[in-house]
Amino acid sequence: MNQLKQFALTAYYYTTLLQRNRQALLRARTGQAPVSVLFYHRVADSHPNAWTIGRQAFAAQMRWLSRHYDLISLSEAQARIASGCSARPAACITFDDGYAENCDFALPLLVELGIPTTYFVATDFMLTGRPFPHDAAAGAPLPPNTAAQIIEWSRRGIEIGAHTRSHANLGSSTEPEFLADEIVGSKRDLEELLGREVNYFACPYGLHQNMTPAAFAACYTAGFAGVCSAYGGYNFPGNDPFHLQRIHADPEMIRLKNWLTVDPLKLKHHIPFDPGDYGQITTTSLAATR
């Protein structure tokens, strides 16, 4: 973020802080405290890019979050959303893709601090060691997690979730074979590896155009307990707990604070993705995986 934008956002944040605090008190009193689900990708000091946060910035975010929010698991988040009443603001930590360097600092820190974390893995890269296409295209073929790392961190308490096999754009096709391969296939890859159930799925890219009601139906039918999007959105008690709307955990602390204290403008202009009547849609050939 350039200096001018940072200055403008900081000014906006502080001029609306009183309004935010008043709204937060009102939500607490009426049981409408938000459940914010953050997503990170990579914590490292080398090869900075739009999906990397430095170690010290990440540690500072964890300290700030620990002071101001109940840091909870996705299943606890769903329970609070489903209950229709939650008085305390809460946040969840998730990671997407599966970068090897997260094992050096982020995951040890999260386990040490006892912060529940769900870690979404695109399984083809874990199984083959190939770098992610977006990293290869950027000239920085960063290493993905190995299967041994995923087993190790699952054992240490990190919840592992599925993120397709090939980091596919699920908005690109509603073909049942495609959805089964990417959604059921990634669940199966991880369950075979870990010997335990994998309950959550995160849609790659996670914008409105990267999801369809058919993809949500395939996740539901596959037995996932919830699906995460990534376009930026708040979850409030009484919402549908199956669809967890996530917020990008920006490396800039002011952006993180702006989101998590419920930006009145973002709330006003927020358009949630409609996953359709996924419980009623039946998909065929879901057993077909490659």
Per CB under 5 A, residues contacting Zn ion are 96-97, 204
Q: How far is CA 176 from CA 216, 230, 267, in A?
A: 12, 23, 35
Nearer of residues 96 and 250 to Zn ion, judged by Cβ? 96
d(CA 145, CA 103): 8
State the nearest-atom distance from the C-beta of 202 to Zn ion, in Å. 7
State the nearest-atom distance from the C-beta of 226 to Zn ion, in Å. 17
State the nearest-atom distance from the C-beta of 102 to Zn ion, in Å. 13
State the nearest-atom distance from the C-beta of 72 to Zn ion, in Å. 22
Bridging pattern class, strands 200-202 and 226-228 = parallel
Nearer of residues 78 and 186 to Zn ion, judged by Cβ? 186
DSSP state of 71: E
- Report the run of H or E that residue 19 belongs to, with start and end: helix 17-30
Nearer of residues 97 and 159 to Zn ion, judged by Cβ? 97
- Report which residue's Cβ sits closest to Zn ion: 96
Exposure string over 109-143, b if 16+ CB within 10 A, otherwise e: bbeeeebbbbbbbbbbbbeeeebbeebeeeeeebb
Nearer of residues 149 and 239 to Zn ion, judged by Cβ? 149
Nearer of residues 13 and 205 to Zn ion, judged by Cβ? 205
Torsion on CA atoms 121, 124, 127, 128, rounded to nearest 10? -130
Nearer of residues 33 and 43 to Zn ion, judged by Cβ? 43
* φ/ψ of residue 149, rounded to 5: -65, -40
d(CA 153, CA 149): 6
C-alpha closest to that of 86 among 126, 136, 33:
33
State the nearest-atom distance from the C-beta of 41 to Zn ion, in Å. 7
State the nearest-atom distance from the C-beta of 270 to Zn ion, in Å. 22
